[in-house]
Amino acid sequence: MTILVTGGAGYIGSHTCVELLAAGYDIIVADNFSNSNPESLKRVAELTGKLFTISKVDLQNRQQVEKLFSSNKIDAVIHFAAYKAVGESVEFPLKYYQNNLAGTMVLLETMEKFHVKKFVFSSSATVYGATNHMPITEDEQIGSTNPYGRTKEMIEDMLQDIYQADPSWSIAILRYFNPVGAHKSGRIGEDPNGIPNNLLPYLSQVAIGRRDVLTIHGNDYQTKDGTGVRDYIHVVDLANGHIKALEKIQKTPFISAYNLGTGVGISVLEMVRAFEQASGKTIPFHIGNRRPGDVAICYADPAKARAELEWTATKSISEMCEDTWRWQLQNPEGYITEKVSIEASGA
Ligand code: UFG
């Protein structure tokens, strides 16, 4: 069975490619590498000992996408490719609507044309917006607070409409909570551009000395210690959620959304302590203002994914921190440095 993985060179995509290959699927990766590095895929091949097709494709380019489907027998699609920075989406909303919506529409139209109707969609807990109902179930009202989240929401609506019009589609919508961690090998991991927005990459760059101090965005929330609480999920657990979703969409046509989280809320201070433990480093931090748009608490009710996908997260907070740290230690500058040093040593 051949799976097209869009955005397969990215953080969650590359980890999912490893698990797909390990589970015996053939994969084709389509990526435009606008926010990822082909080196990640080289390492996926290295880790799994398997060969697969990599295609530099922009999903907004219909010709390129159609060529992909006409020259390969694709059975199902896992769609990761998208812009994903919340702050940037507030600043440049059209960039997000153009890339995320237009790319997805070309992909879905091409799938329809080639009668490929099995789809796993990379959505986000951000679609829930600022709810106070914890843990969050899939029945929670949708209403994102930023353009990035609204692109996910609109695509979810698009998928519902496609299924209503043609119930032979089979669609799993996966709403990720906070993906962290890295592959055990330390060979693939998260490689943010510039200053990281997210807590774990920032923490690990402080621990390794690339940044001086962590700013904790507020300690006056109504939470256990005043800092924000989130549902951190190991990226390999998340990747395995996709394998389970893929199994489910093969059984019978349906559409459903699933939370992929652990169901456990962890505060920023708890995460700092766990990272100190894992790295053996002291993390200097100071308390700053609240970050605009942040909610106090956000964690999943993962019961539906457990019941219907037979999936559950298994990896602990310490494992998430240890694996992030191993990746950071082995790749202090992310994927780029190694490329540069290979070039330098070859010169
Ligand atoms: N935080 C800090 N300092 C930092 C970075 C983060 O204190 O330098 C805090 C935040 O205030 C928050 C927590 O750490 O309390 C987690 O923040 P992240 O930026 O790591 O994650 P978010 O929960 O804000 O957002 C993530 C993804 C979004 C996604 C959302 C889904 O980045 O893409 O989860 O709920 F939409």
Choice among 128, 148, 221, 258 that is catalytic: 148
- Res. 292 pLDDT band, cuts 50 70 90: confident
Query: Is 202 part of the annotated catalytic residue set?
Result: no
294 touches ligand 1 (CB under 6 Å): yes
Atom of ligand 1 nearest to the CA of 288: 7
At residue 103, does pLDDT exceed 90?
A: yes
The whole-number pLDDT of residue 345 equals 35
Three-state SS string across 248-300, please?
HHHHCCCEEEEEECCCCCEEHHHHHHHHHHHHCCCCCEEEECCCCCCCCEECE
At residue 72, does pLDDT exceed 90?
A: yes
Q: How many angstroms separate the CA atoms of 128 and 135, rounded?
A: 12
The whole-number pLDDT of residue 194 equals 87
The whole-number pLDDT of residue 172 equals 98
At residue 52, does pLDDT exceed 60?
A: yes
The whole-number pLDDT of residue 344 equals 36
Q: How far is the CA of 199 from the centre of ligand 1 (A)?
A: 6
Q: Where are the alpha helices (DSSP H) in 54-166?
A: 62-71, 86-91, 93-96, 103-113, 147-165
Torsion sign (Cα): 37, 41, 44, 46:
negative
Q: What separation in angstroms does the CA of 162 have from each of 96, 109, 159, 246?
A: 22, 10, 5, 19
Mean pLDDT over 284-309 rounds to 95
Q: What separation in angstroms does the CA of 12 have from each of 6, 84, 174, 276?
A: 11, 12, 12, 24
82 touches ligand 1 (CB under 6 Å): no
Place of tokens 């894992």: 278
38-50 pLDDT, tens digit per residue, is: 999 999 999 999 9
Please, what are the domains in the chain? 2-330 (3.40.50.720)
222-241 pLDDT, tens digit per residue, is: 999 999 999 999 999 999 99
Q: Compute the mean pLDDT over every residue in the chain, rounded to the nearest whole number.
A: 95
Mean pLDDT over 186-191 rounds to 97
Mean pLDDT over 158-162 rounds to 98
215 touches ligand 1 (CB under 6 Å): yes
**Tokens encoding 286:** 């100071």
**Tokens encoding 307:** 């019941």
The whole-number pLDDT of residue 131 equals 87
